[in-house]
Copies of this chain bind each other. A is one copy, B any other.
Amino acid sequence: MLRRGFQAAVILGHHGTLPGATHLLPRFNPASAFGSSMESLVSRFCQEMKKSKNYALPNASWGPDMLSLYHEFLEKTKTSGWVRVPSFRSNRDHIQGFKLPLDLSANSDKSDWRLFTRCIEREGQGYEYVIFFQPSEKKSICLFQPGPYLEGVPGFVHGGSLAALIDETFSKTAYLSGEGLLTVNFNIRFKNLIPLGSLAVLNVNVEKIEDQKMYLSCVTQSRDQQTVYAKASGTFLQMHLEEDSSRQ
């Protein structure tokens, strides 16, 4: 019940429907994230883990379009401040050493937890994607090659699978840009269907940060930018993760 109460307070509190419950809001101090700068947050969150497989690396299923654009952005990580965001099997791997607020991380047994967008392990069948983040401009690019397990209308990407990947790219971008952690709302307008096996590029921007909320936008299009597949927006709630002293 604590969990439910907490959630209600965090989200509804901002809409004024739970007046007086703001004492339940998590402590917020973006400038002191991890006791240092955004740069430190990014380098800590994006470090490689020896024990955790990074799914955001090329594999045999990646087509020429996906590979060449990947290498283009990899080059930008050396020259233009872009960061390749690693992608582990669970968010538990990303936040090792931190504790989630209150009872948010309740389930911690030995189940095979998986980040939803990494739930399909067979290469090329489901989500193939990699996110690159640009800290100084608070924006991301996600290269997305959808496999045949993401089908909706025969031959094309299920709208829900695109929505889920945009939400995931929002989520990582929001966290790295200012500790945005929970999706408050999400909106998507579909313009064209994405053929399975093709390449789609998600262009994500943090538009505004205000009152513990982060406002993000996404345009999903073909590599040549001639076809817009979808436009989306989302709002995230900022939450500060504290060091987990019990694990040190």
Contact surface of A with B, Cβ cutoff 8 Å: 3-4, 7-8, 11-12, 90-92, 95, 100, 104-108, 111-117, 119-120, 125-126, 148-156, 158-161, 163-168, 171, 181-193, 195-197, 227
A119 pairs with B150, CB closer than 8 A: yes
**Chain A interface SS verdict (over half):** mixed
B190 pairs with A171, CB closer than 8 A: no
A190 touching B185 in the complex, CB below 8 Å, given contacts A117-B158, A151-B91, A154-B90: yes
A119 pairs with B182, CB closer than 8 A: no
Chain B residues whose C-beta falls within 8 Å of the C-beta of A195 in the assembled complex: 3, 106-107
A11 pairs with B191, CB closer than 8 A: yes
Chain B residues whose C-beta falls within 8 Å of the C-beta of A167 in the assembled complex: 158-160, 163
Chain B residues whose C-beta falls within 8 Å of the C-beta of A126 in the assembled complex: 119
A8 touching B107 in the complex, CB below 8 Å, given contacts A100-B154, A168-B160: no
Q: How many copies does the complex hold?
A: 2
Set B7, B149, B159: member contacting A193, Cβ < 8 A: B7
A160 touching B154 in the complex, CB below 8 Å, given contacts A187-B187, A195-B106, A195-B107: no
13 cross-chain CB contacts under 8 A: A3-B195, A7-B193, A11-B192, A95-B154, A105-B153, A105-B154, A107-B155, A117-B160, A119-B120, A119-B150, A153-B181, A159-B167, A161-B164
B7 pairs with A192, CB closer than 8 A: yes
Set B117, B159, B183: member contacting A186, Cβ < 8 A: B159
- Bound together, the chains give a CA A232 to CA B120 distance in angstroms of 26
CB closest chain-B residue, reference A196: B107
B154 pairs with A165, CB closer than 8 A: no
Set B104, B151, B156, B192: member contacting A153, Cβ < 8 A: B104
Q: In the complex, how many angstroms separate the beta carbon of A107 from the nearest chain B beta carbon?
A: 3
Chain B residues whose C-beta falls within 8 Å of the C-beta of A189 in the assembled complex: 184-185
B106 pairs with A149, CB closer than 8 A: no
CB closest chain-B residue, reference A165: B160
- Bound together, the chains give a CA A7 to CA B156 distance in angstroms of 12
B158 pairs with A115, CB closer than 8 A: yes
If A107-B197, A185-B188 are given as contacts, then 15 extra A-B residue pairs at C-beta distance below 8 Å, sorted by A number, are: A7-B191, A7-B193, A8-B191, A12-B191, A95-B154, A106-B155, A107-B155, A113-B148, A159-B183, A159-B186, A160-B165, A160-B168, A185-B190, A186-B188, A187-B187
